[in-house]
Amino acid sequence: MSDDDSLPGPLDTAEQPLAAVVPKPDTEDAIADLRAEGVYDDDRRIREFGADAVALPVTEPPQRTQVREVVRQEPARRLRTLDDHLREQGWSEDELDRAPGSWAVIGTVVLVDVGDAPRPAEVGEALLALHANADTVLARHGIDGQHREPDVELLAGSGDTETVHTEHGTKYALDLAQVMFSPGNKAERAHMGDVVDADDRVFDMFAGVGYFTLPMARAGAHVTATEHNPTAFRYLLENAKLNDVHDRVDIYRADCRDVADGVEADRVVMGFYDAYEYLDAALAALEPGGILHMHEATPEGLVFDRPIDRIEDAAAAVDRTVEVLDTRRVKGYSEGVAHVVVDARIE
């Protein structure tokens, strides 16, 4: 993966293509920003730049994207797809048809569902070649147990599963072999940071490593966050400090029901597929006129109707009324099942 024999030289020493240097954990966000700025060069590949950074190919110096420096490099044609890399390893077209079609880069770790792909180790090596900012590739096999711990297998790389992942400026430290992180929830995490009002009082009932707590606290909300998983709780504490929001986040390692009675919240976030089982506690914490954000894994034929009915039934049981404000599909959960969110004002 390393290109140490052709490290870039100073900007003014050669008429070579440009590259923008960024820290490895910022790679995916920086690429998105450079593309939005119209200066990312898809025809060249990403290169390592020392031990902790990568050089992203650009057509001209970026004006809006934050980078460490802009350098010049020897031109290097990019193998643009996973199939390109696997073909170089001798894979046939029939084998390529069984290769993974998607994966996620979380900080310096690639998560991939290899399915029935032949030679998974070669898939791992190809993904490392495709993503210069990554140093470990994990095959994911699902989520197990009361604490929803990931079942993963090392395919390639150093095996370092602890990383810092950055999304829209929010930093998530985590160990992907010990705690879950859903790449498909990225837009929802950003959305929660956008909709919250400064000084809102938020109760995040299933906080994890801070999926929703952190963007909401960064937007100025005061968050009471509960998490039962000891490993996720430890990272939640670390991430509150990492994002400099520890003064706006009260964190409890506890069952959310045990905390709810002492909370007065303008918003309650229920980021758990079986969250409806905790609606009584959520409504106990939610002030009149407050907003509930409830997640659910719903069969396609019941999408939105079932979670709305559950909210309305729980509210009626305590003589409260419901105004549905928004409904969203976050992603597919499994075949025939969707991950959805209902936002509702509870009077």
Residue 158 labelled as part of a binding site: no
Q: HSE-up of 114 (CA within 13 Å, CB side)?
A: 24
Q: Which of 107, 87, 83 is nearest to 28 (CA)?
A: 107
Residue 227 labelled as part of a binding site: yes
The total number of residues written for the chain in this structure: 347
Sign of the torsion angle spanned by Cα atoms 219, 224, 228, 230: positive
Q: Give the three-state DSSP class for 250.
A: strand
Q: Which residues contact 48 (CB under 8 A, 6 or more apart)?
A: 1, 2, 3, 4, 54, 55, 132
Do the bridges between strand 170-175 and strand 162-167 make them parallel or antiparallel, or are there none, so unpaired? antiparallel
Residue 248 labelled as part of a binding site: no
Q: For residue 302, with 0-12 CB atoms within 10 Å meaning exposed, 13-18 middle and 19 or more buried, which class applies?
A: middle
Q: Which residues contact 16 (CB under 8 A, 6 or more apart)?
A: 8, 9, 72, 73, 74, 75
Annotated binding site for S-adenosyl-L-methionine: 182, 189, 227
Annotated binding site: 182, 189, 227
